[in-house]
Structure 1
């Protein structure tokens, strides 16, 4: 199976704890193999086993207390 990489912009992250929370929550989504957060820019890169449902990513980011914004 091929891997897929998706990049998102998350607003509201202000510290390493915020980045850790987003990483943990996105990492729980089925199929996600890694999450890389660039705190300074709010950019989140997600590697997965296949295409991800952006609505599902948005839901877990919002549940964590942050907002997924258009890239």
Structure 2
């Protein structure tokens, strides 16, 4: 699975709270929806500690929180 490969790669050489450093990048913008959909479809994210930590760092930022699918007008 792609998440496993990404977990291995990011856990090996990660610096900072995000995918590639101390600031969010396009990599984080791509990761967050992947994890959201994985959770939505029941994927066990327990083994992916690094990915979950990055997602949490992203979700703590206002820009990510405002664009979360649950906050969109058609989410109901």
Query: RCO (CA 8 Å, sep 6+): is it higher in 1 or 2?
Result: 1
User: Looking at CA atoms only, which structure, 1 or 2, has the larger radius of gyration?
Assistant: 2
Task: Indicate the structure with greater helix content.
Answer: 2
TM-score, normalised with respect to structure 2: 0.25
TM-score, normalised with respect to structure 1: 0.26
